[in-house]
Structures are given as C-alpha cells and as structure tokens.
Amino acid sequence: MPQAVAYAIDSPTGRFARTTIARREPGPTEVLFDVVYAGICHSDIHTARGEWGPVNYPLVPGHELAGIVRQVGAEVTKVAVGDHVGVGCFVDSCGECEQCQAGTEQFCTGPGGTIWTYDAIGRDGLSTAGGYSTCITVEQDYLMRIPAAIDLVKAAPLMCAGITTYSPLRRWGAGPGKRVAIIGMGGLGHMGVQIAAALGAEVAVISQTRSKEEDGRRFGASEYYALNEPGTLKSLRGSFDLMVSTVSAGSDLTRLLGCLKPGGALVDVGLPEHPVELRMGALVNGNRILAGSQIGGIAETQEMLEFCAEHGLAPQVEVIGGEDINDAYDKVVASQVRYRYVIDTSTFG
Ligand code: NAP
Ligand code: ZN
C-alpha cells in the first residue's frame, strides 16, 4: 500500500505533528497522485479546533489539493501519469441521486452521502484523510484537471476558495451593471474580488480595517470600506445588488442586509462558530434576499478553473512548510495571512 507522510492534529487544542498514513492502491477507475501543495482554508481550522462540533482525531485536514498523477487504474480515462490534478472538499458521492445527476455532488442524497475529503468514511470503509499529506488515492470523477496556465501552487486554493466564491457570483448574476460587495478579504474574499471584477461587476470590499485597501484595489475593487470607521454601513444603505459574505466570525447581518438595494441578495459563505442574530425587518423591508452557498460541484469547479486560466486570475499565496502549520492557523484567525497559506509537501521529509 502507498504510504503518505502527513501532518495530523490529535485534539481541538492539540498541535500538528508529522505522521505516516496508508493510502489504498488505486482501483480500476482510481488515481494515485502526489500532493505537491495543499492550501489552508479557514474551514480546516474550524474543523480541527472542534468549532463546528466533534470530529475524529487524529485528523489530517486539507481540501485544497494540487499535485501530479503518479499511478492510474486500468480503466482511467480522465487523466494520465504526469498530469496536474486537483481535489477539493469531497472525494466521492453516489453519482446517481438527483443532486449528483444535477452536478451538485456536494449535496448527494445517496446511501453514503457526499464523502468529504477528510473526517468522513470512504467507500473502502476507512477514514478519509486530507491534503496535508504527500499522496492520495481518489476516484477519477472527483479530480479536476489543472489548466497549464495555472501554476500548481496557485491552483491549490482554487479548489475551495475559488469555487466557493465563483459559484454564488455566477448564480446570483454578478456582471456588468451590477454593484457587488465582498465582505471579508481573506482567502475566499480575495478570490471573490478578482472573480466579480472579471465578470464585469463594479466591486466593493467591506473589510474590518483599511490595512488591505491597496491590495483590494489591485485585485479589482473600485471601492473599499472599513467596518472600524464609524457609520460605514449606515453610509452604504441601499447600495448593492449583491453582497457575498466570507466572514469567519460574527456578522452584523441586520446592518449588512440594509446595504442591499430593494430585491438585492446577501449570500453568506462564511461559517462562524457561533450563531448570528438577525432582525427580520431587515429582510422583509425591500424584499431582500438572504441565501447561503456551499462550494460547488465537480463540473462547476472545472469551469471555474478554465475561467481563472482565461482571465489570468490566481490567489496570492504564502508558501510554508509542514512545521509552520500551527503558526499559520493562528495567523489566519488573526487575519494576518496574505491571502492563502499553501503547504509545500516537499518539506515533509
Ligand atoms: P479567512 O482567510 O480567515 O478570511 C475570513 C475573513 O473574514 C478575514 O480575512 C476577515 O476579513 C473577516 N473576518 C474575520 N473575523 C472577523 C470579524 N470578527 N468581524 C468581521 N470580519 C471578520 O477565511 P477563509 O478561508 O476565506 O474562509 C472564510 C469563511 O468561509 C470561514 O468561516 C470558512 O469556514 C468558510 N468557508 C465556507 C465555504 C462554503 O462552502 N460555504 C467554503 C470554504 C470556507 P478582513 O481581514 O478583510 O476584515
Ligand atoms: Zn475550504
């Protein structure tokens, strides 16, 4: 069986340490690939620290994988040895239910449901382990092909941060003539700004401070607002057709909804640990819409990669080694990352 060197955490308050895990031999339609880079998503942190509820330890997180195919099963047609491939938040689903047929495999209603890349039980009955590891075996249908125009290191964060912002921006009509606000400019947010601008929308960033304003404008925003300046949300009342919130901790939803034009939509993708309050009047007055959005299906993720390649969009990354993961988690929580940490697995030894 192929062995992978991985970084695992063993409790909500634990620290990441190096370990070894077994991967399965690829079956006829499966692919074994070397994970070269893995992004650190804030969801990894919420999960590893038990903020969304109990998880199974030891936990190897990572759902932003980019790598190179090492071995393919006899019936694999989608990729060949040496190809650049990626994996996002899930590695399997039933393939037959209404959701899978519609290309929203992340909502699979089949017997095992969507099999998440980590902290789930795979088809083989074993726990899944994510991208903070040197290799992984995945069913070919759950792989993305990485376009040649996108560097492997920049492809990794697109597997979650890219698709999670691309999907709602497309679904809710970001484009020419639309005023779009991205709330929170971290890993997801900085991709959201670039994608919304590439779709032709007029883009505003709503951040906690002005410390990232220059970057926001470089990513394509024409307006930038800071929540720590008094009266910011009041001054933005009735301004936007669409707002996408990527905020990872607490949000003043009532006030944010007030920043929508009548009939406008606020789509939340952020998943804070604690519940958020909402005054219903903010929703009812002006026929405003509050929606959620969870990642995207395989076909849509592939479409997002082609879109990024065509428009020259890519995350701004900081490459780190395995020993830096603990420190990186603290910096992400403190909004100090610019704008995605990507782990280089060649440092695993
Ligand atoms: P991130 O890089 O930490 O970015 C989150 C941003 O939220 C920060 O950069 C900050 O923006 C803002 N923020 C943090 N604390 C805040 C507070 N107390 N008040 C106001 N704003 C605050 O995280 P990420 O990886 O982009 O993920 C963002 C969220 O989306 C997480 O909750 C994650 O679990 C979730 N997520 C959801 C999906 C999905 O499918 N829906 C997929 C991936 C991730 P500024 O620095 O600009 O203020
Ligand atoms: Zn993620």
Average pLDDT, the chain: 97
Q: Quote the pLDDT of residue 278.
A: 96
Is the predicted pLDDT of residue 281 greater than 90, yes or no? yes
Q: Quote the pLDDT of residue 250.
A: 86
Q: Residue 56 belongs to what H/E stretch?
A: none
Q: Ligand 2 mean position to 336 CA, how many Å?
A: 17
Q: Quote the pLDDT of residue 124.
A: 83
Mean pLDDT of 46-56: 97
- The helix-helix angle for 187-198 and 298-311 (nearest 10°) equals 70
Tell which residue, 76, 192, 98, 187, has the closest CA to residue 142: 76
Q: Quote the pLDDT of residue 176.
A: 98
Largest CA distance in the chain: 62
Ligand 1 in reach of 192 Cβ (< 6 A)? no
Sign of the CA dihedral running 23, 27, 29, 31: positive
Whole-angstrom distance, CA of residue 283 vs CA of residue 280: 5
Mean pLDDT of 158-167: 98
Q: Are 332 and 186 in contact (CB under 8 A)?
A: yes
Ligand 1 in reach of 164 Cβ (< 6 A)? yes
Mean pLDDT of 230-258: 97
Nearest residue CA, atom 21 of ligand 1?
247
pLDDT by residue (tens digit) across 82-98? 999 999 999 999 999 99
pLDDT by residue (tens digit) across 322-334? 999 999 999 999 9
Tell which residue, 278, 272, 288, has the closest CA to residue 237: 288
Mean pLDDT of 286-309: 98
Whole-angstrom distance, CA of residue 300 vs CA of residue 294: 12
Write down the pTM of the prediction. 0.98
pLDDT by residue (tens digit) across 120-156? 999 889 899 999 999 999 999 999 999 999 999 999 9
Mean pLDDT of 297-303: 98
Whole-angstrom distance, CA of residue 61 vs CA of residue 91: 13
Which DSSP string corresponds to 220-254?
T-SEEEETTSTTHHHHTTT-EEEEEE--SS---HH
Q: Quote the pLDDT of residue 240.
A: 98
Q: Ligand 1 mean position to 268 CA, how many Å?
A: 10
Mean pLDDT of 45-59: 97
Q: Ligand 2 mean position to 255 CA, how many Å?
A: 26
Q: Quote the pLDDT of residue 349.
A: 87
Q: Quote the pLDDT of residue 123.
A: 80
Q: Ligand 1 mean position to 9 CA, how many Å?
A: 22
Is the predicted pLDDT of residue 62 greater than 90, yes or no? yes
Instruction: Tell me whether the omega of the peptide bond preceding residue 58 falls within 30 degrees of 0, making it cis.
Output: yes
Q: Quote the pLDDT of residue 276.
A: 95
Query: Which domains occur in the chain, in start order?
Result: 3-151+314-348 (3.90.180.10), 162-292 (3.40.50.720)
Ligand 1 in reach of 295 Cβ (< 6 A)? yes
Angle 119-124-129 (CA atoms, 0-180°, nearest 5)?
30
Question: For residue 29, what pLDDT band results from cuts at 50, 70 and 90?
Answer: very high
Is the predicted pLDDT of residue 271 greater than 90, yes or no? yes
Which range has the worst mean pLDDT, 115-124, 203-212, 260-269?
115-124
Q: Are 33 and 70 in contact (CB under 8 A)?
A: yes
Mean pLDDT of 196-222: 98
Tell which residue, 34, 36, 302, 328, has the closest CA to residue 158: 302
Tell which residue, 96, 76, 80, 77, has the closest CA to residue 29: 76
